[in-house]
Amino acid sequence: MVRKYQISNADNRFAWGKISFYTILLIFLSGSLYFYTNSDYIYAQVGNWYYKQNEITKAQYFYEKSFQEGNQDTTIRENYVNSIINSPLTVKSQEKLATIAEDKIQDRSSFEAKEFLYNLKREIHRQYPDNYIKQAPFNQKIIRWGKFPITYTYKNEDNIPDNYIQEIDKAFSEWEKLGVVLFTKTEGDADIVVNFKNNKTEEMEYGRKYVAAYTEPIVINSKLKRMDINFYLQDPEGNLFSLNQIYNTSLHEIFHALGFMGHSFDTNNIMYLAKDNNTLVNDSRATLTEADINTLKLLYKIKPDISNTKDVDSEYISYLVLGDNEEVNQSKAREAKNYIYHAPTLPSGYIDLAESLVAEKRYPEAIKNLEKALTLADSDEMRHIIYYNLAVVYHYINHNSLALDYIKKATEIQDNEELHFLKAEILLSINRKEAEKEYAYLVKTYPNNIDYTIRLSNLYLKDKRYLQARKLLKIYLRNNPQEKNNPRFSPYKMLLF
């Protein structure tokens, strides 16, 4: 009897153990399900708790997690904005405020973010009251150097008068005196390359106006590789430029090479487009104005979209200094029209105008300007830019066969990441299998780019190829463990569980 009792008791304990295990498992799964379905609310409440404790950084973190999970609660958004406003206003904080300000949801929090940024913008321009920074963008983006010293060199300088070189060197020194940038002259590869070109009268003449030099940014895979300053040595009548004209032109082009890609509308400023033509008659030596100096200082405080290095010291985001996209676009359109008026035989003005027309969805006019630019382009690099932009515009109006033709033409000049990405996007609407191949190529060639991995994963998921999507995401996270908490993976949590 005793023995029977012991066996029965052991069986009971085993049975209860099984029940306990499954109970715990059920509680865990239920808790997990509750968290996944209510995570936005839970994160918000944690954020509120930290907010009341005045632990602003932690509050922001949980508010952001809540928004990523789809929370749109007005009170939470207001607390979030207030937490940012009351914390150190870093570039990252400015970006958060700009995101809320321009969010699809327009509520009190959006208004508060806009108002705060607007007041801060006014304060910045009070510190630099005389400037023309709004004309700075290159294709709607800020481009500038982020690593110093900036090196420069001369090419094709044989038979160039020594005093011409000296005047250009003086112009580099003049910009350097302001304490914003640092230059080093070198004999090898350099950030800024000064080329001397034979005159092309048909490019230079327009009545009595002419182009003494022009600057081209060389951007590859969204990285600034170098700036090319191209000098002509004579005016349309074959006369050599004076030393003052060389110096003035150098001051103007060096500012372009520093990243200021527009022009001033004030005749006193060094970046006035027709500055060189004015000095042809007066032959007076230019000096940098307060507006020139302030504009350079502001440019090198803005976080760039394109630079020669990944981490760039910055104080402001572009939105804060230049305004929203509409403001930037209006300024760029005005600048482009002014450029075309003064230099109608150069393609850059038509390209810039096309860019602003695309932003306004005036696609036929944009195409017309790009086609005009194509007739004026005198280098493969310029044609490459125009072909790419034509492909983009034709894609926007669903003329995808023409868009692919222009991608092919651009690829024949230079194959790059941007072209493959644009091609993949175009193919999505006409040939999913080919689009998948392009994305697979991009994932293989650029394995650390999260965009390509996610886009290819989404294609797999649409075809219900869940295991392929899971494998692709797992490989990315294995190779990039620092991205484990990236909110872009939130929609795939169950797949990666």
- Confidence (pLDDT) at 21: 55
**Host H or E run for residue 230:** strand 223-232
* 107 and 162 housed in the same domain: no
Residue 132 lies in a domain: no
Residue 7 lies in a domain: no
Mean of the per-residue pLDDT values of the chain: 84
* 167 and 308 housed in the same domain: yes
Query: Of 278, 300, 322, which marks where a domain is finished?
Result: 322
- Confidence (pLDDT) at 496: 72
Residue 283 lies in a domain: yes
Residue 462 lies in a domain: no
* 183 and 297 housed in the same domain: yes
- Give dist(CA 141, CA 97) in Å, integer: 19
User: Residue 239's domain is classified under what CATH number?
Assistant: 3.40.390.10
Task: Give the count of beta carbons closer than 10 Å to the beta carbon of residue 162.
Answer: 8
- Give dist(CA 242, CA 268) in Å, integer: 20
Helix axis angle, 450-462 to 432-445, nearest 10°? 150
Residue 142 lies in a domain: no
Domain that holds residue 122: 13-127
- Give dist(CA 166, CA 156) in Å, integer: 15
* 172 and 306 housed in the same domain: yes
* Domain count of the fold of the chain: 3
- Give dist(CA 143, CA 140) in Å, integer: 10
Query: Of 322, 338, 368, which marks where a domain is finished?
Result: 322
The single residue listed with the structure tokens 């003052």 is: 244
* 249 and 274 housed in the same domain: yes
Q: Give me the helices (H) in 54-160, please.
A: 56-68, 74-85, 91-101, 108-127
| pLDDT-flagged residues of the chain (< 70) | 1-38, 198-211, 221, 236, 274-282, 497
Structure tokens at 442: 């991009």
Residue 145 lies in a domain: no
- 330-384 per-position pLDDT tens digit: 878 888 888 888 778 888 889 989 988 998 899 999 999 999 999 998 888 889 9
Tell me the helix, strand and coil percentages in the chain, rounded to 5: 60, 10, 30
* 317 and 337 housed in the same domain: no
* 279 and 348 housed in the same domain: no
* 92 and 161 housed in the same domain: no
* 41 and 119 housed in the same domain: yes
User: Residue 372's domain is classified under what CATH number?
Assistant: 1.25.40.10
Residue 173 lies in a domain: yes
* 331 and 430 housed in the same domain: yes
* 247 and 340 housed in the same domain: no
User: Residue 23's domain is classified under what CATH number?
Assistant: 1.25.40
* 341 and 448 housed in the same domain: yes
Residue 105 lies in a domain: yes
What DSSP line would sit under 301-369, residue for residue? TBPPSBBSSS----SB-HHHHH-SHHHHHHHHHHHHHHHHHH-TTSSHHHHHHHHHHHHTT-HHHHHHH
* 396 closest CA partner among 370, 358, 431: 358
